[in-house]
Structures are given as structure tokens and as C-alpha cells.
Structure 1
Amino acid sequence: MTDLTPTPTTDNHPRIFADFETLGDALDYAARGQKGFNFHDARATLVRVYPFSELREDALAAAHRLIAFGVTPGDRVALIADTEPQFCALFFGAIYAGALPVPLPLPTSFGGKESYVDQIGVQLDSCDPCILLFPDEITELASAAGESRDIPVFGWDKFAERDAPEGELPKAKGSDIAYLQYSSGSTRFPHGVAVTHTALLHNLGSHAHGMLIDGNDRCVSWLPFYHDMGLVGCFLSMVANQVSTDYLKTADFARRPLSWLDLISRNKGTSCSFSPTFGYEICARRIGSQSNVKERFDLSRWRLAGNGADMIRPDVMQRFTDAFAPAGFDAKAFLPSYGLAEATLAVTLMPPGEGMEVELVEETDLSGDEPAGGNRPKRYRAIVNCGKPVRDTLLEIREEDGSVLPEKTVGKVWMQSPSVMECYYRDPEATAACLVDGWLDTGDMGYLSDGYLYVVGRAKDMIIINGKNHWPQDIEWAVEQLPGFKAGDIAAFAITTPGGEETPAVLVQCRTSDEIERLRLRDEIREKVRSITGMNCVIELVPPRTLPRTSSGKLSRAKARNLYLSGDIQPYAIAA
């Protein structure tokens, strides 16, 4: 396709930083200007220009089409999320219809058809949608998932052929739920985060102010729309704050990661682009020792190189800086952040221009354990400064009993903000467990220093690999399905490999003494975990009664991890 002109970085339409009652109002305003979205193929070639004005027209038509189908205010509309104009229009169509859009992941994230259908099926059970809409090219998989729950299913293009009779649209209020976000990645314990229009727009305005967005800024993103950083930070924020955006599909980034940097290089304004650590790592690895970095890329106008969604690894960021400094990349552009879907998105941001700051902390200080005895050497971890709270956000570091801890002391991160979720959808017990007196228990561990937050780990044992969350319970449950294993026999947690990559490790109590049988079991466990999660894991068989337990008899994954890393848990030796 030729003669495509991308939407402009600047126009004469006065900017409003997300100061609207509802998300629909935000799109109504953005559509009066010339800015919008620009979709690119795997080679970073522009294939579709989508101004906010056109998005609004398509969204209104989608709203009328949904209402004609029978969708009413408060209904859930499940959307398989791909980086396409159709998803954007259907998402806002659900908003205009007063329904709750529910973005769900593409099948590329899972181990196979049955695993994907099971995963989506559990989330569909949780949100109970009245319709499931998806890219037409995955009709077989998505139809199987919807039909297994007796949910009407339509490909995007097929649904667009339905009549869209005009009529009066419902008027939303700021206190209404805007959308549901499934953030846990859990196949057994899905948590649909319910966010109101007021909370969403407060957060969108907060991180725009925190990043000092100005008239020269343009966003570049490959992040998936089913992830909170992709959905909220690089899609909804762009509408609410009127920022033109250039998109790559996530799958295309995975195949050609340097296309991301090609897009940034072409931007004649200043670029704002976010990625988990692994995105920077892939680019640094792919460029390797190529000598054409300076000729191919111009990263001198990359103003904000955001980093979030998983633990930030300073060694990776340094490798990226070393690789792309010849192309003008300035390490001061790094903008570490901390956020979570339960807070809509942003909780803390590093002030622009301060770059990345790191503190070395002794590991026993991080875990709360007593210092190691004997002659065991001290081990330090580099902890990245994740910045200061965004506007109207309060942070406290608390002990398990709820008492507030002083600075430089590791504890649970609690927060209070107008951006905090309304609830976990249809799950009052889980809601009450993390929302207490207006404060949110983030489930993460960290400490405060001079007003900055340092995040050191995940209190809830979450495993995050390449920016994707995995509950250890899911991995453990996969092994429990095999004959001869039961709950309590398995502990799953994340470890760092000698190469510096984070990977899941699974310790499994094994009762057989036959080495051939152990080898067979290990391979069977590995394949079972891969089929459920789509991941390769380190599988270690350990003797019975090895895995540690709390005083109440529950499995202690954190202690199992510490004992394994220290060598106090010795797995069976199994020949390859």
C-alpha cells in the first residue's frame, strides 16, 4: 500500500489530559483533532492509518450493532485482543453501548488448542459475556472456546456485516465500570479487575502528567492489548491524552524486534515507548555486534524509554545502552516504573531525565531472613529505583501485621489512590482480601527511600516470564493431574539462570527409587507443564517430605526457593 500519510504528531486541537467523565467522552474529544493510530506490518511498513475521528465513527456503528444484537448496559463483551483497528472499534463500541469490554489473549500465548480453549473458557466463566468477538483467522479456536460455554461467537469481519440501526445510546457515568482486565494469567483463579471510568481517567491523566507529555511526543508500541501496559498505557491513554501512536503487532515484534527501533528512528518528534525488560534484551541480543547500528537507527529523539511489567534487570538495560549508544540512545531516557492492573496501571514513575538508579542490597535484607551463618559469603542484588508515586497516590510499606515500616525496610507495598480498582469482578472474597479501608495490598514487596519506591519481589509468589504472569498454582496443578502426585508434592517458583534469564523451576517430591522411572517421570512432568502453560521449566525431582511448610501446614514456596538456591535441597541426580 502506498501514499499513506501517518496521523500527525502535532495539530491545532488543544490537549486535555484525560479530564473527562467517561472514556467515551475522551474519544468524542480526541476525534475533533487530526491525531490517531497507525498500524504497521512486521517490516515496520505503514499499512493502515486510523484517525481518532474514524475510530469514533466505527465505534458508534459497533455500539449500534451490539445493541441490535441484544447487548444492554452492564453486559460483558469478550474481545480476543489483536493489534488491529477492529479491536479498537469494538472496544470503544462496547463502551458507547454501556457494556464492559473484556480483552482476552490470543492463542499464541498457550501450549495448544485444548490448553487455549481451557484458559479462555475459565475466563469466560468468570466474566459471563453475552458475546465473544475475535479475529476471523482464529475462528476455529475462538469458536471452540465460546461454544463450549454456550456463548454466541462472531469473527470481527462477520460481525461487521450485521445491521447497525441507529438509535439513542445509553449515557454512562464516571462511577460506572468501564472494562474488565484479566491480569493474573491464572487458569484456575482468574481475577477480573473492574475499573470505573473515573479511576481509569484519573490514572491516564496521572501518568501523562508524570511523564511530562508535550506536543512533540508520539508513542510507539508493540505491547499486546490484553496486557494492562498495552491496553491502558499504550491504547486508552493515547485516546484520553490525544497522542498519535505507531503500532506493531506483538507477534511481529517477536519475529522482527528491531522493527520497533526502526519505527522510533523514523519519528521526527520525540518518542515515548514502553517495554518489559525482555523487549530490550531481545533487541540487544539481535543486534549483536553488527556494525551498522549508527547507519540504521536514530534513537537520539527517544525521550522516554519506559520499563515495567516485570522485574527490571539493570544488566540487561546496560547491554541495551552499550549496543545502541552509537545510534544516539541516551541512558537517561530510561524511565523505570511500577504498576499493576488493580491500580488501573501506573503507581510510580521515575521523573523524566533521571534515568535508572540502582541500589545493592544484601539478599537477607530482602527476604527478611537472618544473615547466613558460617563462612557463606554475602550475596547482593541490584534493586532498581521505580520512581515516585503518581499524583494523589500514597504508598506505605507494611509488616505482615499491618504496621507501617520505616524507610529502607522491606515489607509489603500498600497504596491508596483514586485509580484503584472497584473490585475483582463477582469475587467479593478476593476483593476483601486485598482492599482494606481504602488501601490496596499490591501483593508486592519493596521499600521506600527518600520518596522513591524500590520493588524487590512478589509477595504472592507470582512468576513473571517475558512480561507474562504465571501463577505457581497453575504449574503445580498441572503436575497434580499426573498419576502418583498430589497437592503439596510440588513447588513452583522463579529462578535466575547462570545466563541471567528468569525461568520457572518446579520441585517435585518423587517416591520411586528407580532411575529409569525417574527419568520418565521428569520428561512426563516437563511435557505436562508445557501443555498447560506453554513454558519450558527446570524440573527437579526431590525426596519425599523435602518441601518446607509453614506453621499452619501450607507449602512455603519462598522457603523452598531459598533452600534450593542455597543447596540445602538436593535434587536426585538424573542422567540426561
Structure 2
Amino acid sequence: MTDSLPASPGSAPISVAGFATLAQALDHAASVDAGMYFYSGRGQLTEALPYARLREQSEALARRMLARGLKRGDRVALLAETDGDFARSFFACQIAGLVPAPLPLPAALGGRQTYLEHLRRMVESVGAAAALTPAAFESWVAEACAGLPLHFVSTIAHLDDVVPVQGELEAPSADDLAYLQFSSGSTRFPHAIAVTHRAVIANIDAISLHGLQITGSDRCASWLPFYHDMGLVGFLLTPLCCAISVDYLATREFARRPLTWLQLISNYGGTLSFSPSFGFELCARRVENGGVPEGLDLSRWRAAGIGGDMVRPGPLLKFCESFAGSGFNPGALTPSYGMAEAALALSFSPLGRGLKMDRVDTDRLERDHLAVAPAADAPRSRDFVRCGRILPGHDIEVRDEQGQPMPEWGVGLIHVRGPSLMKEYYLQPEETARALCGDGWLNTGDIGYLADGEIVITGRAKDLIIVNGRNIRPQDLEWSAEGEVDALRSGDVAAFAIDEEAGEVVVVLVESRAADATARAALCEQVSGVLRARHGIEVRVVPVPPRSLPQTSSGKLSRAKARALYLAGSFKLAGAG
């Protein structure tokens, strides 16, 4: 498909600091021979959307939206399908001075009513004045928004007959809101993160100039959802601001045919693509059963980024092994750290280095909050992946429980500041005050340490399990069980603590595919034994049905929701043994 070849190559890293707004970036991208390309699950091109056409169609839609009664600053809920209509809707908002709020699609599993209630709450939380949706979900969104004071709930096509407003449109300013990004909701109901044009442009500039050193010869590929910061900022806004082409596969299609992602990279010369660890794992697992596609060429993939969750070394090393024959370079692995509260990225590991890990004494980590190398006779240790230095223009501190900065290798709460930070949690001043300090620092809620100036993430503060003075990361328990019990796969385990009269109890939920109670009991005993031997703790192992552990909209395990469901007895109601 020659119409989807990349723009003319260039060699100098691109800076986007000259753009004040995303609308200005779109104006520039429209002058370049590049664009967005959408593919089916079988790799067939379904839409080619050059940036010039996107600019033209977005302005036409902006004028029709304003004609339907919207005014500058109004929030517009956008159901974030991976298609050209979402891009048109998002940039129509930019041109019209509206504030888009991307919303998640329904999960593959889960109740319709629960999703509609969740959607309504999100729409209400930002005071949306309108909603745009794909035709397939129009009735769902209309039902979710019934009775709310919206000007319209519509598809783009249903606005075609609206007479557009005429005249010059007032351009947004750098300090206007560019969009509202909902947090993943792994430990609470998602907050709407208010991101200004100035903040997102600053982040994209740091990503393109320093983190990934993007040039005009680069090309992106992505299966990440547009309602997640890594999908929206990383693979919609960054390629557009840099005026380079990007190939898209819908998230649901990736889940069905993950190797199509790699085939797009191979077919169209992709150089930049990111995924959480589980995406690489899914690809490696798929070729174990069916083999590597013939002719797959991953040799041009220079930055295979990992983000969106804690970096898991095991699946990444397996991916390298599985695709070595396809030209994949292990040095391309690029662990990163970031969050929607900082638009997207805060650090990238050095390009071309691949994984760099610290082996840490687990006992010292849990009891003394120190990341130190284990002695030869240390009973327990584990590896953590370095995620590189903080991006230029940003600062980072690791603080203890009293809020004092810690030296390198001290494990504590990570705080950051810089030009990429959010303005606020929209319409939530108390939550904003808890996260943003008066001196401009953001409490990320992540736990980690600095090693030679590089960021290393060890967990989330709200997920920590505290047993007899030990700070135990639930990921350690989950990964041990998944790695040592043959019946378990990645994502099959959730660990958390609950308070009972006798004290704190560590609960470990395991998805069991066994049909009979005896097999489920044997699985639970095996998991208990592994965790007793590896971590020295007693746990209550509870079998739950396959695919019943709750996930956030971005695919992360939600331990908070799993805990709530367990306490409510929902897993027993679902038929757990």
C-alpha cells in the first residue's frame, strides 16, 4: 500500500516547542505528507487519513459543533474508538476551543449496566455539554446520558446536515485546557486530569527531542487505546506534533490477533512502538503455539517501549528470544516511567541500551526501605528494571514518610515537578491539594528509588501490604505465584490485605480453570506453599472463576476493586469454590 509510506526522512531530532497549542501543531502537520492509517485485525487498511485531510475535516466538524450550541470551554465526551472519527472529533474540539474528554469503550467482559453507570458518572464528573460516539455505541451512550443537560449525543455523521457557523474561530491559548484525561482508576474511581496545551506540548517536546529523539524518518505503530495517556499522547498527539506517520490497530483486535501489531511494524517500517509488559508477553505466547509469521522483519524497530505498568523483565526477555530470528534487537527495549498527571512521560531509559536491572535484597527492601545488592547468602532477592533519568526541565525526589528527601537507593514516595504537570484534577480541589504541593511538586503515589540518577519503580503506595513491619509489594506475591505454579498465567493472581478481628490477613485470589473442588484445593495449597517458601508469609488463597479479576480501562489489574468484590462476596456469587 504505497499511499501509507512514511514522510520524507530526516536526521535531526524534532522539537515541537514552537507550538503554543495542539491546533497549531495540526496546522503544521497538514503541510507535511504524512498521516494516520487504520487497519483491521487482519492487517487490511480500513482508512488512510492524511493530516491535511484531518485538518480540513476537523475544522468543518468544529463549526457544526459550535452551531449546535456549544461554546468555548465546554467539555465534550468522546467515546474513544480507534478510528478516524475520534481523531476528527478530538481536533475539532481543539479548533473550536472545546475541551475533549476521551471515554473508554466497553470491556470485552463485564456487565452492560455497570459500564453505563460508570460512563454516566464520568460524563457528570466533567460537566460535559455534549457527547460524540461511534454509531455502534450510540444507543449505549444515549442511555448512559439520559436526563443529563447535554446539547446532543450524536455520531459525527448525524451532524452532517447542521449549518456550520461562519467567520474566524477564536484560537485557544497555551494556558487553556487541551483535554481532560481520565486516570486509569486502579486504586479509585478515575479522576479527570486537566491538561493544558502548554503542559502537553512541553511533554511532547521532551519526548521527541530527548526521550525518543524522533526524526522525520521515524514511523509509529500502536494498538494502545486513545482513552489512555500512552495511546492518546504517545501515539496520537506525539506523531502528529512531529508530523510523522502512524499505523493503528484497535485494542480489541490486538487482543484477538496480537501478531498483527508486529506485522504492521514489519510491513510499514515501524521504528517506534510501545506496550505494557503484557503486550510483549501475549505475542511471545502466541508464537509458542503457532510459530513466528513468515517474513516478519522487526529490524527497524529501534525503540520498543515499555510503559503503562510496572516493567516485568521475564516476559520481555521471552519476547527477545521468540523474535530474535525476526531481527528484533534486545537493545531496542526502552523501559519508561510516566503518568497522565504529567501528560505522559517522565523518563526513558537510554536508547539502545535495552534492559538494565538491579538485583535487590528483598528483606532489606521490605524492612529497611533500602535497595541494596544481596549478599551471597541472602535468602531472597528480586530484579527491578531501571527506567532512565528524569526528562530535562523536570525534577524528581524520593521522600520518606516524613516528607524528607532520601539519598540514592533509599526507597520511598516519588515526587516530581516540571512543565508537563497537570493543572488539577478537574473540579476536585481536595484531591488536587492532596496530590499537588504548594511548591509545585506532585506526589505520584508510586514507590521507588534512584540509582545513579535513574528512576526505579517498586510499587504503588496504596497497594502496599504491611505485615509485621514489612512493606510487601503485591506484585511480588502475584509474580511468584504466576511464575512457579504451572496452572497459572500472567494476570491470574491478585493480592491484597484485609482487616479482620484477629488482625491483617493477606488474601490472594487465583483464577482457577479446574472444574472440580479437589483440583481447586490443590491449586490453592500449591500457591500457599510457594508464597510461604518465597516470601515467608501465610496467605489465604481463594480460587475465583477465569477472567473474573477486575481490570482498569487501560488493562491494569485493579486490586482495589478485587478487594471490594471479595469483601462483598461477589466471587462466591460468581461460583468460586
Q: TM-score, with normalisation over the residues of structure 1? A: 0.80
SS of aligned partner of 1:448: strand
The CA distance in 2 between the partners of 1:446 and 1:261, in whole Å, is 32
Q: In the TM superposition, what is the alpha-carbon distance from 1:565 to its structure 2 partner?
A: 6.1
In the TM superposition, what are the counterparts of 1:491-510 in structure 2 within 5 Å? Answer: 495-496=477-478, 498-500=481-483, 501-502=490-491, 503-505=493-495
Aligned to 1:83, the other structure's residue is in SS state coil
Task: State the match for 1:284 in structure 2.
Answer: 284
Amino acid at match of 2:55: R
Q: Which residue of 2 aligns with 1:167?
A: 167
- CA deviation digits over 1:124-163, x for unaligned, max 9? 1210100011110112211111115343311232234433
Instruction: State the one-letter code of the partner of 1:568.
Output: E
Q: Provide the residue aligned with 2:401 in structure 1.
A: 400
Q: For residue 378 of structure 1, report the CA deviation from its aligned partner.
A: 2.6
The CA distance in 1 between the partners of 2:337 and 2:141, in whole Å, is 33
Contact 1:175 1:196 in 2 (8 A): yes
Q: 1:442 aligns with which of 430, 441, 444?
A: 444
Cα deviation 1:6-36 (Å, max 9, x = unaligned): 1533269996535201110010111011111
Query: Within 2, Cα distance between the matches of 1:388 and 1:69?
Result: 47
Deviations 1:92-112 (A, max 9, x none): 101111111000000125611
Aligned-partner SS, 1:419: coil
1:408–1:448 contact (8 Å) kept in structure 2: yes
Residue of 535, 538, 558 corresponding to 1:568: 538
**Distance in 2 separating the partners of 1:12 and 1:508:** 56
Partner deviation per Cα, 1:302-356 (whole Å, 9 max, x = no partner): 1110000011110100100000001110100000000000011100101111111
Matches within 5 A, 1:352-371: 352-368=351-367
Query: What residue ranges of structure 1 are gaps of 5+ in the alignment?
Result: 464-491, 512-521, 527-537, 542-560
Distance in 2 (alpha carbons) for counterparts of 1:66 and 1:7: 33
State yes or no: 1:235 paired with 2:225: no
Partner of 2:258: 257
CA–CA separation in structure 2 for the residues paired with 1:17 and 1:123: 32
Corresponding residue number in structure 2 for 1:553: none
Contact 2:380 2:534 (8 Å CA) reproduced: no
Aligned residue in 2 for 1:410: 411
Residue identity matched to 1:275: S
Paired with 2:204 and 2:405, the residues of 1 have a C-alpha distance of: 29
Match of 2:178?
Answer: 178
2:197 paired with 1:197:
yes
The Cα offsets for residues 255-305 of structure 1, whole Å up to 9 and x where unpaired, read as 11000010111124x510000001000000001165555x33111111110
Maintained 8 Å contact 1:65/1:164 = yes
Map 1:96-495 → 2, pairs under 5 A: 96-108=95-107, 111-151=110-150, 152-185=152-185, 189-209=189-209, 210-268=211-269, 271-288=271-288, 290-293=290-293, 295-368=294-367, 378-436=379-437, 437-461=439-463, 495=477
The answer to whether the 8 Å contact 2:15/2:208 transfers is no
Cα deviation digits, residues 25-73 of structure 1 (max 9, x gap)? 0101110111111111111111211110001011101110111111111
3-state SS of paired residue (2:19)? coil
Asked whether the 8 Å contact 2:36–2:247 carries over to 1, the reply is yes
Q: 1: CA distance between counterparts of 2:258 and 2:305?
A: 16
Secondary structure of 2:482's counterpart equals coil
Distance 1:60 1:448 in 2: 46
CA separation of 1:439 and 1:508: change in aligned 2, threshold 3 A:
closer
How many angstroms apart in 1 are the aligned matches of 2:532 and 2:169? 56
Q: Distance in 2 between matches of 1:328 and 1:414?
A: 39
Counterpart AA for 1:169: L
Q: Work out the CA distance in 2 between the residues paired with 1:442 and 1:89.
A: 32
Measured in 1, the distance between the counterparts of 2:450 and 2:444 equals 15
- Aligned residue in 1 for 2:551: none
Contact in 1 for aligned 2:223/2:249 (Cα 8 Å):
yes
Tell me, what secondary structure is at the counterpart of 2:52?
helix
CA distance in structure 2 between the aligned counterparts of 1:162 and 1:12, rounded to whole angstroms: 42
Deviates more, 1:214-223 or 1:8-17: 8-17
Q: CA deviation at 1:362?
A: 2.0
User: Matched residues in 2 for 1:148 and 1:447: separation?
Assistant: 48
For the Cα contact (< 8 Å) 1:23–1:95, is it kept in 2? Answer: yes
Post-superposition Cα deviations, 1:64-99, rounded to whole Å, max 9, x if no partner, equal 011111111111000000111110011010111111
Distance in 2, Cα, partners of 1:247 & 1:370: 42
TM-fit CA distance, 1:504: 2.3
- Closer, same or farther: CA 19–509 of 1 in aligned 2, 3 Å: same
Relative to 1, partners in 2 of residues 1:562 and 1:212: Cα closer, same or farther, differing over 3 Å? farther
Query: Cα 1:569–1:245, aligned 2, differ >3 Å: closer, same or farther?
Result: closer
State the Cα distance separating 1:458 from its structure 2 match: 0.8
Q: 1:189 Cα shift? A: 3.2
Return closer, same or farther for 1:17/1:462 CA change in 2, 3 Å cut-off: farther
Residue type of the partner of 2:538?
D
Give, in angstroms, the shift of residue 562 of structure 1: 11
User: Would you say the 8 A contact 1:75–1:129 is kept in 2?
Assistant: yes
Q: How many residues align?
A: 499
Q: Which amino acid aligns with 2:494?
A: P
Give 1:460 shift. Answer: 2.5
Q: Which amino acid aligns with 1:313?
A: R
What letter is aligned with 1:10? S
Which residue number in structure 1 is paired with residue 4 of structure 2? 6
Residue equivalent to 1:30? 29
The CA distance in 1 between the partners of 2:190 and 2:173, in whole Å, is 27
Residue 188 of structure 1, CA deviation:
6.2
The question of whether the paired residues in 2 share the 8 Å contact of 1:64 and 1:166 is answered with yes
Shift of 1:219: 0.2
For structure 2, the residue ranges without an aligned partner over 5 or more in a row are: 371-376, 466-472, 484-489, 502-507, 512-520, 525-530, 544-571
Percent identity over paired residues? 40
Superposition deviation, residue 197 in structure 1: 0.5
